[in-house]
Amino acid sequence: MKQLVLDISRPLEPTLDNFVVGQNAELLSQLRELLGTNPRERFIYIWGAVGAGRTHLLKASVASGGLYLGRDDHAVLEGELPLAHIVAVDDVQHLNEAAQIGLFNLYNRMREEGGALLTAGDCAPAQLKLRPDVVTRLGWGLVYLVHPLSDEEKNEALRVHAAQRGFALADEVSRYLLRHWRRDLHSLMAALDALDCYSLETKRPITVPMVRELMQGVLDIQ
């Protein structure tokens, strides 16, 4: 049980393959092209609400050797940043003045020297309270809204994931998870994997009481 509790607490490694597309097919296609050879567009800005998946997409895009800069890493932009094949800068709405200048310079360098720049924020470029020259640069490339999954899309994704693991997921279980667990899909998937393992170990079906039992174990260690 303890190991399962730890497993449910760990987020899954983000990849483009385990991102559930929903209404984001064009964005996902564009990111795959960005990671290929000679992409037509090398600058992409994505925005959306917390939990929509923008951080997942940025981390997945740099998983094969790029550089990810989250909010806690923004200070790196204030120095001379070594160029990577792809650089992803998350939560640009929190950039301070010096980091904004660094991002502006990075954009210009990558435009001249090559590489791809993927940026993300919580609103469209025109609504960002950043330097006008930075806002202009962010809006020069492609701009995509990351559409969050609806509850029905999450339910369907969980049912498919359960079927791939060889069991049928009861609707009341998936809906209970959606109401009481973390609402991002990959935390939900991790919970489902842990429930499947626990069910096999205890030879009990996956039910709402089992979900409560496992969730209580997580709360006890946090």
Residue 52: the pLDDT is 86
**pLDDT value of residue 124:** 97
Position 221 scores a pLDDT of 39
pLDDT at 9: 46
- pLDDT tens, position by position, 117-147: 999 999 999 999 999 999 999 999 999 999 9
- Mean pLDDT along residues 93-100: 97
Q: What is the pLDDT of residue 17?
A: 86
**Confidence (pLDDT) at 89:** 98
- The pair phi, psi for residue 49, each rounded to 5°, is -70, 160
pLDDT, position 6: 44
Please compute the mean of the pLDDT values over residues 161-186 and round it to a whole number: 88
**31-87 pLDDT, tens digit each:** 999 998 888 999 999 999 887 889 999 999 998 889 999 999 999 999 888 778 899
Domains, the chain, with CATH or none: 2-9+149-221 (1.10.8), 25-145 (3.40.50.300)
State how far the Cα of 27 lies from the Cα of 143, in Å rounded to an integer. Answer: 9
Predicted pLDDT at 3: 54
Query: What is the predicted pLDDT for the residue at 175?
Result: 92
pLDDT tens per residue, range 7-45: 554 556 788 988 888 899 999 999 999 998 888 999 999
